[in-house]
């Protein structure tokens, strides 16, 4: 349902001597996602997971390569157009909106202000208090709350393809299980092709396929069990560069 | 008599489709249009620049007072000085507001000077909307002043809104808070074109345990300019917070100058101020929910000024 071909994305970086050079962040990704399956994408910090999902959503434009969704080339389509085709994305760091209520945001996502519809979405995502609708999606929400808001707006889209970028960060340890079940239920009941970016074992176990991204490339694809040995090898620490170069490095983790 | 334009202005500034419930005083083109008093709320003309004195009897609750002003006469600069005496333990809503309809190239303006004296334990919610419209090019000016004096445990909530069409606005808010009293001022102003708006605020925390919060939200479009000056001076164990946010669109400019002064060791004063364009992350989020860029902008602004 989603085919990524030879995708390359780079940014310009300022060098110490003041000259600019291109830095490739996605370095030739090829992958085909199958309709209705559950995928987990994992990999070290900085490996390009967020960048790859933003390329799919249209937030970044690739240097080269193609993204084909349900037979349609996405290159040249705006974020809004992709959203309307059925792609939804939960941001790793969700935006906060001064003055905007959760009701308004969820209403935009669901395309309706109908109270009954909004209540049904809340129940669907396990937010049992309807009072939550009147909260401002501003700076007062906790890290966990804003992630739940983000998740709810994604599910409210009834997407064909849902991408969740680290939905579990900031969430209480004991609510990760229910979150995994929720996304699996959406996958089964609505046939939602689901991509979850996570380091959490619960998500990796739930996935039909685990994709390991390293250095802007797909390093491995497989079941949880056959990916596990590879995961033990990778360093999830993003300070690696600093530690490896120094002889007397402290660990900043 | 009120004509169609008057009714449109009343709707915009006071949400009035009909003659309001409760006490009211409607002023049109510098003259009294109509007035109603109730058993608990009295309204009389005062000696100061053709203003009114409004007296709310102690213990009056769940009553409202509407005092809209409408203007549609060229070259009229209407100034009124109104006073509000709010009796002990009463709880009322006051809806003020000024609507200008400008049909010519001549200027029109209004300056409402409102003084509030809140007795012990009284509460008011004060809503003031400003709006100007009409095909004329005459300059529309609104220079409102509010002065609020809160006795022990009194509480005031003020919603000050300038919806649009006002060419020049210079606002002045002053408040002095007694022991245990509190106030929340929310000011929302949108300007466009070459409009200019200035808001001056001075809050004095005089009494022990007093609390004041002032929230200002500005949307500055076109090449308009909005400035905000706000100060909180604390003379007692008290709490004060200033929050000013300005969203700049197009070529708008803004000056935000918050000032906190503490003259007491147990005062707690804070401020947050931000000036900037709409955050990209917000636009991306709303577009990823299917909105086009322009719709996303308008929903963000609408929420911000909600
Ligand atoms: N706009 C940008 N400018 C420069 N570098 C960027 C930009 N966005 C991402 N990067 C870099 O690209 C790499 C991949 O980032 P990201 O996709 O966020 O990784 P992940 O989500 O896997 O942690 C990181 O090294 C990050 O610093
Ligand atoms: Mg990331």
ipTM summary value: 0.90
* Ligand 1 atom 9: residue of nearest CA: A51
Atom of ligand 1 nearest to the CA of A166: 21
pLDDT band at B42 (very low <50, low <70, confident <90, very high): very high
User: DSSP code of A51?
Assistant: H
Rounded to whole angstroms, the Cα distance separating A35 from A209 reads 13
User: Facing residues of B64 across strands?
Assistant: B93
| Tokens 């009322």 sit on residue | B92
Q: What is the pLDDT of residue A236?
A: 53
pLDDT band at B4 (very low <50, low <70, confident <90, very high): confident
Residues A109-140 have pLDDT tens digits of 999 999 999 999 998 888 878 888 999 999 99
Beta strand extents in chain B (DSSP E only): 23-28, 31-36, 41-45, 52-56, 61-71, 77-86, 91-101, 108-118, 123-133, 140-142, 145-150, 155-164, 168-177, 182-191, 196-205, 210-220, 225-234, 238-248, 253-262, 268-276
**B54 to chain A nearest CA, in Å?**
33
What does pLDDT average to over chain B?
A: 92
Of B81-85, B165-169, B198-202, which gets the smallest average pLDDT? B165-169
State residue A133 phi and psi, 5-degree precision: -60, -30
High-pLDDT (> 70) share of chain B, %: 98
Nearest-Cα residue of chain B relative to residue A162: B288
pLDDT band at A188 (very low <50, low <70, confident <90, very high): very high
Of A82, A84, A99, the CB nearest to B303: A99
Of B287, B288, B304, the CB nearest to A99: B304
Partner A contacted by B217 (CB < 8 A) = yes
Atom of ligand 1 nearest to the CA of A44: 22
pLDDT, mean of residues A196-220: 93
Position A46 pLDDT exceeds 50: yes
DSSP string, B227-296: EEEEEEEE-SSEEEEEEEEEEE-TT-EEEEEEEEEE-STT-EEEEEEEEESPPHHHHHHHHHTT--HHHH
How many residues are recorded in chain A? Answer: 253
Position A21 pLDDT exceeds 50: yes
Q: What is the pLDDT of residue A234?
A: 63
Six-digit token string for A89: 């994305």
Of A75-79, B48-52, B196-200, which gets the smallest average pLDDT? B48-52
Rounded to whole angstroms, the Cα distance separating B92 from A37 reads 59
Sort out which chain B residues have CB atoms less than 8 A from A139's CB and list them. none
Nearest-Cα residue of chain A relative to residue B246: A98
Residues B239-256 have pLDDT tens digits of 999 999 999 999 999 999
User: DSSP code of B210?
Assistant: E
Rounded to whole angstroms, the Cα distance separating A95 from A150 reads 9
Q: What is the pLDDT of residue A253?
A: 35
* Residue A224: half-sphere exposure toward Cβ, Cα within 13 Å: 14
Nearest-Cα residue of chain A relative to residue B297: A97
How far does the centroid of ligand 1 lie from the alpha carbon of residue A48, in Å? Answer: 6
Instruction: Pinpoint the alpha helices (H) of B90-241.
Output: none
* Ligand 1 atom 27: residue of nearest CA: A46
Contact status, residue A100 vs residue A134, Cβ threshold 8 Å: no
Compute chain A's Rg from CA coordinates.
19
Rounded to whole angstroms, the Cα distance separating B263 from B232 reads 11
Rounded to whole angstroms, the Cα distance separating B135 from B122 reads 43
* Ligand 1 atom 25: residue of nearest CA: A46
Rounded to whole angstroms, the Cα distance separating A55 from A37 reads 20
Please give all residues whose beta carbon lies within 6 A of any atom in ligand 1, as ranges.
Answer: A 11, 25, 43, 45-51
Q: Which of A45, A42, A40 is nearest to A253 (CA)?
A: A45
Residues B94-140 have pLDDT tens digits of 999 888 888 888 888 888 899 999 999 999 999 998 888 888 888 88
What is each CA distance from B66 to B23, B37, B63, B96, in whole angstroms? 6, 11, 10, 6
How many residues are recorded in chain B? Answer: 306
**Which A-chain residues 105-134 have CB contacts (< 8 A) with chain B?**
105, 108-109, 111
Six-digit token string for B37: 């008093």
User: Facing residues of B230 across strands?
Assistant: B201, B258
pLDDT band at A235 (very low <50, low <70, confident <90, very high): low
pLDDT band at A250 (very low <50, low <70, confident <90, very high): very low
The structural domains of chain A, ordered by start, are 2-252 (3.40.50.300)
Name every residue whose Cβ is closer than 8 Å to that of residue B170 and which is 6 or more positions away in sequence.
Answer: B143, B197, B198, B200
Partner A contacted by B305 (CB < 8 A) = yes
* Most confident option among A18-27, A225-234, B218-227: B218-227
Sort out which chain A residues have CB atoms less than 8 A from B290's CB and list them. 80, 83-84, 108-109, 111, 157
B293 with A80: Cβ contact below 8 A: yes
Residues B52-66 have pLDDT tens digits of 999 999 999 999 999
A91 with B281: Cβ contact below 8 A: yes
pLDDT, mean of residues A75-85: 95
Of B284, B291, B299, the CB nearest to A59: B284
């Amino acid at each position: 349902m989603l085919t990524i071909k030879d995708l390359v994305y780079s940014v310009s970086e300022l060098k110490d001597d003041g000259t600019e050079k291109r830095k490739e962040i996605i370095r030739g990704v090829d992958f085909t996602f199958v309709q209705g399956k559950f995928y987990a994408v994992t990999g070290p910090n900085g490996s390009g997971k967020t960048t790859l999902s933003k390329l799919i959503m249209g937030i970044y434009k690739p240097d080269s390569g193609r993204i084909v969704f349900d037979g349609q080339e996405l290159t040249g389509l705006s974020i809004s157009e992709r959203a309307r085709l059925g792609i939804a994305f939960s941001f790793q760091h969700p935006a906060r909106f001064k003055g905007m209520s959760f009701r308004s945001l969820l209403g935009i996502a669901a395309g309706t202000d109908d109270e009954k519809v909004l209540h049904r979405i809340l129940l669907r995502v396990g937010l049992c208090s309807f009072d939550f609708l009147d909260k401002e999606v501003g700076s007062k929400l906790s890290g966990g709350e804003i992630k739940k808001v983000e998740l709810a707006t994604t599910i409210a889209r009834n997407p064909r393809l849902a991408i969740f970028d680290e939905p579990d960060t900031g969430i209480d340890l004991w609510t990760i299980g229910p979150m995994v079940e929720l996304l699996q239920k959406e996958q089964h009941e609505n046939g939602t092709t689901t991509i979850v970016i996570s380091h959490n074992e619960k998500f990796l176990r739930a996935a039909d396929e685990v994709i390991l991204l390293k250095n802007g490339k797909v390093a491995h694809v497989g079941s949880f069990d056959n990916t596990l040995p590879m995961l033990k090898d990778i360093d999830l620490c993003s300070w690696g560069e600093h530690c490896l170069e120094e002889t007397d490095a402290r660990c900043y983790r | 008599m009120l004509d169609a334009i008057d009714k449109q202005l009343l709707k915009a500034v006071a949400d009035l489709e009909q003659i309001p419930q409760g006490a009211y005083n409607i002023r049109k083109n510098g003259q009294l249009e109509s007035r109603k008093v109730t058993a608990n709320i009295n309204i009389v003309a005062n000696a100061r620049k053709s203003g009114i004195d409004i007296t709310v009897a102690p213990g009056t609750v769940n009553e409202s007072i509407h005092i809209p002003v409408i203007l549609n006469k060229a070259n009229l600069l209407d100034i009124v000085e109104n006073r509000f005496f709010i009796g002990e333990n009463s709880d009322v809503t006051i809806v003020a507001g000024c609507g200008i309809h400008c049909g010519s190239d001549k200027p029109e303006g209004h300056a409402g000077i409102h003084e509030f004296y809140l007795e012990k334990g009284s509460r008011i919610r004060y809503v003031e909307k400003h709006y100007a419209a009409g095909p004329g090019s005459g300059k529309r000016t609104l220079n409102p002043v509010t002065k609020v004096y809160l006795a022990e445990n009194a509480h005031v909530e003020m919603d000050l809104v300038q919806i649009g069409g006002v060419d020049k606005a210079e606002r002045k808010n002053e408040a002095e808070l007694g022991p245990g009293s509190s106030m929340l001022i929310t000011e929302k102003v949108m300007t466009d074109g070459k409009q200019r708006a200035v808001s001056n605020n001075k809050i004095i925390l005089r009494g022990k345990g007093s609390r004041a919060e002032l929230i200002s939200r500005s949307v500055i479009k076109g090449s308009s300019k909005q400035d905000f000056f706000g100060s909180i001076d604390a003379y007692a164990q008290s709490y004060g917070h200033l929050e000013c946010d300005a969203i700049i669109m197009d070529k708008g400019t803004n000056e935000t100058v918050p000032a906190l002064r503490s003259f007491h060791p147990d005062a707690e004063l804070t401020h947050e101020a931000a000036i900037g364009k709409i955050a990209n992350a917000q636009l991306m989020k709303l577009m990823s929910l299917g909105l086009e860029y322009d719709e996303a902008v308008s929903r963000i602004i609408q929420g911000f000024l909600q």
